[in-house]
Structure 1
Amino acid sequence: MTNQTTSPRVVEVMNTLNALGNPVIAAHSQRYFKTGPGEYGEGDVFIGIRVPVTRTVVRQFKDLSTPEIVELAQSTVHEHRLSALLILTSQFTRAKTVQQRAELFEILLMLVSSGHVNNWDLVDSSAPYIGAYLLEMPDYSDLLLALAQSEDLWERRTAVMLTAALIRAGIYQPTLELCELLMTDTHDLIHKATGWMLRVVGDQDIAVLRGFLDTYSATMPRTMLRYAIEHLDKPERDHYLKQKSLLA
C-alpha cells in the first residue's frame, strides 16, 4: 500500500501500520464503514488494524511535525488518516499555548474541508477534543453555523461534535441550536450525532435535555430521539417515544 509522500518519518509511520494490516479485518471494515458504491464511505481503503493497535503505533510517533501530520492525513488509507488525527488530538491536549492550540484547530478544519476527514470515526476521534479551542475563541457562532449549513456531511457532523467540549464546560446552548437546525437533516449520521450530544447534555443537566425533548420529541427524527433518551429510565423513554408515535 503506497502513497505519494516525501517525508521519511511519514513513510516510517505508514510502513509500521501497513505491516500490522489484516485482510480479514480490512474486509469487515470496508463493510462496516460503508465503502461501497453510493454509500457514505464510498471508495475508502482499509488495511485492517484494530483501533487499540493503531493507538499503540500512534504513541511511537506522537511528536510528528504538523506538516508531517497533514501529509499522513492525506493518505488514501483510512488507518493512516486515523493515526494522523489521533496524533493531532494528542498534540492538542498537550499544547502549552493558545497559539499552538489555534494552529492545531485550524489544521483539523482544513483537513475536514479538504475531504480527508471523511468518515464518522475520523470526526469523532478528533473534533470532540480539539473542539476545546472554541472556549478560547472570542466568538465561535459563525464557524459552527457555517459548518452545520455545509452540503458536506462530514462538516455538518464536525459542527455537532465540536460542541462536546462546550458541553463539558457547561455551555449547552450552541449544541441545542445546532440540534434544532439539523432536525430536518436527511442523513442518519447527523441524527445519531445530534442525539448523542443531546444525551451528553442530559448527563450534565437533565433539566436542559427534558426542556428540549418537551418541545421537539414529537417532531425530531426518531434516531435522534432514541439516542437522546438512551440514559433516561424506561417510563420516561416511553413517554417521549409516545409523543413521537402520536404525531406519526
Structure 2
Amino acid sequence: MTGSQLTAARFAERIEALRVPTGRDRVRMREVFALAREFIDLPGTEIDKLLDSDVHEVRIGALSVMGKQAVRKNTPEDIRAELFALYLRRTDRINTWDLVDVSAHHVVGGYLRDKPRDVLYRLARSAHWWERRIAMLATLAFVRGGDLDDTFALAGLLVADTHERVQTVVGGMLREAGKHDRDRLLAFLDRHAATAPRVLLRYAIEHLDPEQRAHYLDRHHYEPYTAGSGRIGR
C-alpha cells in the first residue's frame, strides 16, 4: 500500500466496506485485524484521528495497528515511544474492555519492559476503570518474560476493586503469573481469597488443581456489587 493510501479516512472507508448487513450491522473482528495488518505503517497522526471515531470497529482497528507496530521487530524505538505516548494521551478513547485488550500489553507493557513502571501505578489508582484495566493488562508483557513483581504488586492494589472488568483482568493476570510461580500465586490467594471478589478469585484459580480451587472457593465469603463483564486476551 502506498503512503498516499495510508490515511485515517481510507481506513475508515475500508471498515465501512466490510460491514455485514445483519441485525447487528457489524464488522467481523478477524476482518478488522486483517485490515490493520494492511495498514501497519499508518502514521501516528492518522492513528490519532481514528481514535476520535465514534465507530467502535474503527477504534479497534486503530489499536490493532498500534499493537502490530509495537511488536514488529523492525519498528524503531522512537516510534514505540510515540505509540506509548499516544496511547496514554488517548485513554479517554480506549474505554471499553475490548479496546483495552487489543494492545495494552503490546503498546504499554512492551514499551515498559526495560523502563520504570511508575505510570502503571498511577493508572491503577485512576477513577476510570478502563485505566485500571490498562495498568493490569500491561503487565502481561512482563509475565511472558517471567517478570512477575509488578503483576503481584498491582494485583494487591486492585484486589478489592468493585468493577467486574477490573476484577476479571486482575484474576487473569494472577492466573498467568501463577504459571511461572505457583507458590507465589498460592501465597497471594492465602492472603486475599477470603475477601477478594468472587469473579476475580475464579479467574485466578482457573488452572489450579480441583482440590486447591475448592479450598479457596470455600474460604470466600465476600460478594461485592459488580457491573458489566469482560474477558482478557484479544
TM-score in terms of structure 1 length: 0.82
How many Å separate the matches in 1 of 2:184 and 2:76?
33
Cα deviation, residue 184, structure 1: 2.2
2:105 alignment counterpart: 128
Q: RMSD of the alignment, in Å? A: 1.8
How many Å separate the matches in 1 of 2:21 and 2:204?
36
**Aligned-pair identity (%):** 39
8 Å CA contact 1:98, 1:136 repeated in 2: no
Match among 105, 116, 130 for residue 93 of structure 2: 116
Cα deviation, residue 8, structure 1: 7.7
Match among 9, 13, 16 for residue 15 of structure 1: 13
Higher RCO structure, 1 or 2 (CA under 8 Å, sep 6+): 2
Cα deviation, residue 117, structure 1: 0.6
* 4+ runs deviating over 3 angstroms: none
Aligned residues: 217
- Amino acid of the structure 2 residue aligned with 1:187: H
2:227 alignment counterpart: none
Cα deviation, residue 23, structure 1: 4.4
1:4 alignment counterpart: none
Match among 167, 186, 192 for residue 216 of structure 1: 192
Match among 176, 188, 192 for residue 168 of structure 2: 192
Cα deviation, residue 61, structure 1: 1.3
Partner deviation per Cα, 1:78-135 (whole Å, 9 max, x = no partner): 00001001111111112543322211111111121xx111111111111111211111
1:77 alignment counterpart: 55
8 Å CA contact 1:163, 1:175 repeated in 2: yes
Cα deviation, residue 222, structure 1: 0.6
Cα deviation, residue 15, structure 1: 1.0
SS at match of 2:159: helix
Runs (5+) with no aligned partner, structure 1? 1-6, 28-46
SS at match of 1:24: coil
Partner deviation per Cα, 1:179-231 (whole Å, 9 max, x = no partner): 11112211011110100000000112211211111111111111100000011
TM-score in terms of structure 2 length: 0.87
8 Å CA contact 2:6, 2:39 repeated in 1: no
SS at match of 2:7: helix
How many Å separate the matches in 2 of 1:24 and 1:186?
35
SS at match of 2:127: coil
1:51 aligns with 2:29: yes
Partner deviation per Cα, 1:21-52 (whole Å, 9 max, x = no partner): 12436x3xxxxxxxxxxxxxxxxxxx511211
How many Å separate the matches in 1 of 2:97 and 2:61?
14
8 Å CA contact 1:157, 1:190 repeated in 2: yes
2:218 alignment counterpart: 242
How many Å separate the matches in 1 of 2:6 and 2:38?
15
